[in-house]
Amino acid sequence: MAAPSSLASSHLSRLADVRRAAASAAPAPQNQQLRLGCSRRRAQRLVAMAGSGKFFVGGNWKCNGTKESISKLISDLNAATLENDVDVVVAPPFIYIDQVKSSLTDRIEVSAQNTWIGKGGAFTGEISAEQLVDIGCQWVILGHSERRHVIGEDDQFIGKKAAYALSQNLKVMACIGELLEEREAGKTFDVCFKQMKAFADNITDWTNVVIAYEPVWAIGTGKVASPEQAQEVHAAVRDWLKTNVSADVASTVRIIYGGSVNAANCAELAKKEDIDGFLVGGASLKGPDFATICNSVTSKKVTA
Ligand SMILES: O=C(CO)COP(=O)(O)O
């Protein structure tokens, strides 16, 4: 695995610029900082987010579940106590979305795992954004590595899907992340920035977008990125947004981490400055574990 020091030094020096700029920016209102008990830079970001800056946890159920197992998961989630400071979303397989919508508490929003690129019609086997909205689905996951690397979706196709989903008022979890060989070749930032560019070329309003950094080598492998590895990429993506989109988007968009997150490792990851939540696969199939991950937002309240 490439050590952080092998990542491009120009990006690291730009990160240092961002940190210096943040340190010299006007202080956040003190009550906000105290209430959150977090670092000044994060408090400033939360003020800029004006209420939309909650910790965010998504559960991606992938191609798992039966009517029976999903009923059990729903009743565990309905019984769970969730912190107020966290947005929680689950993404069941398409065919169970209706079942989930009709029995899951409104406290948890519902996402699809994919959508068609445009308006529905003669596209056998596809599900349109209009249909998702029709059944009350609020979110869609786009650009997941399993869609990119197993199904073969490319950056442009994914970017266009994001534009269309947003135009239909679906909120988007936009996924990026490098393969193991790309990380080992020192290409982590290049790969993530290229995937970001395809999203940025198609997205004009980032209000309803959450970015999910999911290193492919950490997905379903039990090999979680260290908090430092994840933080480094999150900060670089935020820096990329500042340079290529706007300072406002860079400071307000949530960047969540995915890849072998579980009830035991979530608290340490959640403490990191630029980790605004998680996209969880395997552990989201266990209600109590998923609730623990949602409640790792409390780690954010400890001064970083
Ligand atoms: O792909 C993921 C979420 O979208 C992560 O999956 P795991 O948590 O099972 O590694």
Please name which of 119, 131, 54 lies closest in space to residue 89, comparing C-alpha atoms: 54
Q: Is 258 in the pocket of ligand 1 (CB under 6 A)?
A: yes
Ligand 1, pocket-test mutation among 56, 57, 61, 62, most atoms within 8 A of CB = 62
Q: Is 114 in the pocket of ligand 1 (CB under 6 A)?
A: no
Q: Is 60 in the pocket of ligand 1 (CB under 6 A)?
A: yes
Q: Which residue has the tokens 């492998």?
A: 221
Ligand 1 centroid – CA 138 distance (Å): 20
Q: Look at residue 53 in the predicted model and tell me its pLDDT.
A: 77
What does the block give as tokens for 64? 């798992």
Q: Look at residue 258 in the predicted model and tell me its pLDDT.
A: 98
What's the rounded Cα separation, in Å, for the pair 286 and 131?
28
DSSP 217-283: GGTTSS-PPPHHHHHHHHHHHHHHHHHHT-HHHHHHSEEEEESS--TTTHHHHHTSTT--EEEESGG
pTM: 0.86
Q: Let me know: does 120 contact 128? Beta carbons within 8 Å.
A: yes
Q: Look at residue 294 in the predicted model and tell me its pLDDT.
A: 98
Nearest CA to ligand 1 atom 8: 281
Q: Look at residue 39 in the predicted model and tell me its pLDDT.
A: 62
Judging by beta carbons within 10 Å of its beta carbon (0-12, 13-18, 19+), is residue 181 exposed, middle or buried? exposed
Q: Is 177 in the pocket of ligand 1 (CB under 6 A)?
A: no
Q: Look at residue 299 in the predicted model and tell me its pLDDT.
A: 87
What's the rounded Cα separation, in Å, for the pair 88 and 47?
21
Q: Give the ipTM.
A: 0.99
Ranges under pLDDT 50 in the chain: 1-37, 50-51, 303-304
Nearest CA to ligand 1 atom 7: 281
What does the block give as tokens for 38? 């977090």
Q: Is 276 in the pocket of ligand 1 (CB under 6 A)?
A: no
Q: Look at residue 52 in the predicted model and tell me its pLDDT.
A: 59
Name, in order, each residue with C-beta under 8 angstroms of 52's C-beta and a sequence gap of 6 or more: 207, 252
Can you give the C-alpha Rg of the chain in angstroms?
Answer: 18
What's the rounded Cα separation, in Å, for the pair 59 and 75?
15
Per residue in 135-172, is it b (16+ CB within 10 Å) or e — as a string? Answer: eebbbbbbbbbbbbeeeebebeebbbbbbbbbebebbb
Q: Look at residue 44 in the predicted model and tell me its pLDDT.
A: 63
Q: Let me know: does 65 contact 285? Beta carbons within 8 Å.
A: yes
Active-site residue list: 144, 214
Distances (CA, A) of 227 to 107, 210, 241, 259, 302: 28, 19, 21, 12, 16
Residue 141 pairs in a beta bridge with 173
